[in-house]
Amino acid sequence: MATIRDVAARAGVSVATVSRVLNGNGYVNKETARRVRQVIQELNYRPNMVARGLANRKTGTLAVILPDIKNPFFSELARAVEDTARAGGFTVIFCNSDDLGPREKSYIEVLRQKYIDGIIIASNTLEEEDVAYINDNDIPLVVLDRGPGDGSCAVFRAKNADGAKKAVRHLIDTGCRKVAHIAGPEALVTARERLKGYREVAGAFSWFDESLIEPGHFSVEGGKGAVRRLLERHPDVDGIFAGNDLMAIGALKALQRMGIKVPDQVSICGFDGVEMTEWTEPELTTIAQPIYEMGAKATHYLIDRVRGRAEPKAVVELDVRLIQRGTTRRGTD
Amino acid sequence: MATIRDVAARAGVSVATVSRVLNGNGYVNKETARRVRQVIQELNYRPNMVARGLANRKTGTLAVILPDIKNPFFSELARAVEDTARAGGFTVIFCNSDDLGPREKSYIEVLRQKYIDGIIIASNTLEEEDVAYINDNDIPLVVLDRGPGDGSCAVFRAKNADGAKKAVRHLIDTGCRKVAHIAGPEALVTARERLKGYREVAGAFSWFDESLIEPGHFSVEGGKGAVRRLLERHPDVDGIFAGNDLMAIGALKALQRMGIKVPDQVSICGFDGVEMTEWTEPELTTIAQPIYEMGAKATHYLIDRVRGRAEPKAVVELDVRLIQRGTTRRGTD
DNA sequence: CTGAAAGCGCTAACAA
DNA sequence: TTGTTAGCGCTTTCAG
């Protein structure tokens, strides 16, 4: 492969000059520049990014750490990140953390050794010290969903509590008289926020009871189990707000298995708005987060920071919206 | 951050010696080594991977190019690749190609400039010249599903035609009297192989007709449309073999929408065995590819090649297996 | 067994 | 405007 030296030699200039035309900085005579570009073409020269990285401490690579790429929510997010990164001339490294703190830490360490330009992380185990470490090493960071309390880094998240309220209100507006909640893991802020939203709206009704809240682990299986336990305790539940779409799908499945009609006997509303919610029959009503937009915005922001524009801190809360579909009754209009 | 120089100075040895203990090659006095390691601890020194990469032409990074990470088949594959890479001390760059040839080419170019150690690609547009280019640059390559005719690189794939035959036979064994096929894009080898398998088995029956084959574009929407057109032409179809699970899900959905009972009136069998097939009601019968295993094996092989073990060529065909579930009737046993 | 020194390919002062 | 040169941090001959 041709190196910058080859180009310089063939163009009869120094490597510095070639570097200048390559990076478009410093003064270069028009004609000289033309000649250099010409040679670059002839030799089909491409700068070596590793050498450049060593010299610059910039590698044109971003990293995204997320719990599990198989989770449709995260794969949609990942897609948004990669698209945006590509458009900006960056390449991206993916890391599955399974929400394991030590794994995240070890990734962060490796990424630092590799001079990664910036990190996007969707984590619930990230600690303040990790953020501090990343900041100390001057690695731009953006956190999805969760930000350390002190606002020491940028955060992008959806309005979770707000969405939950919308969900419960919608269920009630469409005729439900007793709405239960299948909750995500307490360890996750997003799950807690959604639970909070549920409590806020449902708590005002006389039928409300703490036992209407059942954990479902954010998984399809969890959703199935939760709905069974719930109906055993409260056979009269006629509305279910699931903390995410996977659990909603599990709930739908379990209900169908039990011979309970959705939405005639029980309505369901999920949360997230992953594509899959259109694949069930009936299709799932859900509170849609702007997943792609969230990934794209986070990445744009990160790139801006890498390039030295943009503040190191920022908190962006994205709006969610109700998508009414088959698992809830038509509005009483 | 501490550099190898700092370590050398503090340990009172040369950088060469530190490098030797770091890489465990060359002779190093036991005691000297101990001291060096001690200092490494004290300084919490971590080698700079970029510098190492420049010197070695090895970056500890693999890349995987696939059509779309949002497709559950590929996200499961991606997960397998990342897990295996991590276990081997590698980091992985993901690229979404959308099966666009030019995009793949530009990725390959960038990856070369970044001294990526090896590439895994699931592509249907990869041309012989691309493979040649990669080979010329000594980048280990493994192809999933499709290999260029001349066997110029390693290929990992499932037994597609074989699986298709299993599917059709299963449908017939469980009582279907007229089995249609929703086919994937002709451009894709996997789709062609599955179609071939279908033809081979179905073609032997008197009811067989070319118009029982309908394209469904490997997508949920495509599956829906295909099933509608199919039933219009052949109202007596009672078995559907979909070329992949997404189309099978679409088919199931469309049938349910039309009020047709699955599997009582029409049976369905998919292909791939993605997790989602357990999320429908009834659950989907499918021909499962060992997706995770395929990704893991491909990655293991790639890593072996990067390390200089393993032959540059290899063709591995993995077995598929029928998973019978709710969308086909119980066997007539 | 250890060290000096020449790269790997590019960037960025500093001179000219 | 352009060239010289000293790094960036690590590996690897080649001597000793």
B250-259 pLDDT per residue, tens: 999 999 999 9
pLDDT, position B71: 96
Do B4-47 and B58-158+291-319 have matching folds?
A: no
Q: Does domain B160-288 sit in CATH 3.40.50.2300?
A: yes
Which nucleotide has the least CA–C1' distance to B16?
A: C3
How far apart are the C-alpha atoms of B274 and B319, rounded to whole Å?
15
Q: Predicted confidence band at B124 (pLDDT cuts at 50, 70, 90)?
A: confident
Amino acid at residue number A289: Q
Q: Does domain A4-47 sit in CATH 1.10.260.40?
A: yes
Q: Give exposure, B63-95, as e/b (b: 16+ Cβ within 10 Å).
A: bbbbbebbbbbbbbbbbbbbbbbbebebbbbbb
How far apart are the C-alpha atoms of A52 and A48, rounded to whole Å?
6
B76–A70 CB contact, under 8 Å: yes
B50–A114 CB contact, under 8 Å: yes
3 state SS of B313: coil
- The superfamily in CATH containing domain A58-158+291-319 is Response regulator (3.40.50.2300)
Write out chain A residues lying below 8 Å of B275, CB-based: 70
| pLDDT-above-90 percentage for chain B | 90
Please state whether strand C lies within 7 Å of residue A204 at its CB atom: no
**Per-residue confidence in pLDDT tens, chain A, 333 aa:** 899 999 999 999 999 999 999 999 889 999 999 999 999 999 999 999 999 999 999 999 999 999 999 999 999 999 999 999 999 999 999 999 999 999 999 999 999 999 999 999 998 888 889 999 999 999 999 999 876 666 778 999 999 999 999 999 999 999 999 999 999 999 999 999 999 999 999 999 999 999 999 999 999 999 999 999 999 999 999 999 999 999 999 999 999 999 999 999 999 999 999 999 999 999 999 999 999 999 999 999 999 999 988 777 889 999 999 999 999 987 554
0.85 surpassed by pTM: yes
**Please, which positions of strand D sit below 7 A from a protein CB?**
1-5, 7-13
pLDDT, position B333: 44
If contacts are CB pairs under 8 Å, which of residues 171-230 in chain A contact chain B? 220
**End-to-end CA distance of chain A, in Å?**
70
CA-based max dimension of chain A: 86
CA→C1' distance for B199 and D1 (Å): 72
The DSSP bridge pattern shows strands A285-288 and A321-323 to be: antiparallel
pLDDT, position A149: 60
Q: Predicted confidence band at B313 (pLDDT cuts at 50, 70, 90)?
A: confident
The chain A residue lying nearest B47, using CA atoms, is A113
pLDDT, position B309: 86
If contacts are CB pairs under 8 Å, which of residues 90-109 in chain B contact chain A? 91-96, 109
Work out the average pLDDT over B34-57: 96
Boundaries of every domain in chain A: 4-47, 58-158+291-319, 160-288
pLDDT, position B147: 65
Positive or negative, the CA dihedral B16, B17, B23, B25 is: positive
Q: Minimal CA–CA distance to B39: which of B87, B74, B2?
A: B2
A114–B49 CB contact, under 8 Å: yes
| Residue B79 pLDDT exceeds 50 | yes
A107 CA: distance to closest CA in chain B (Å): 9
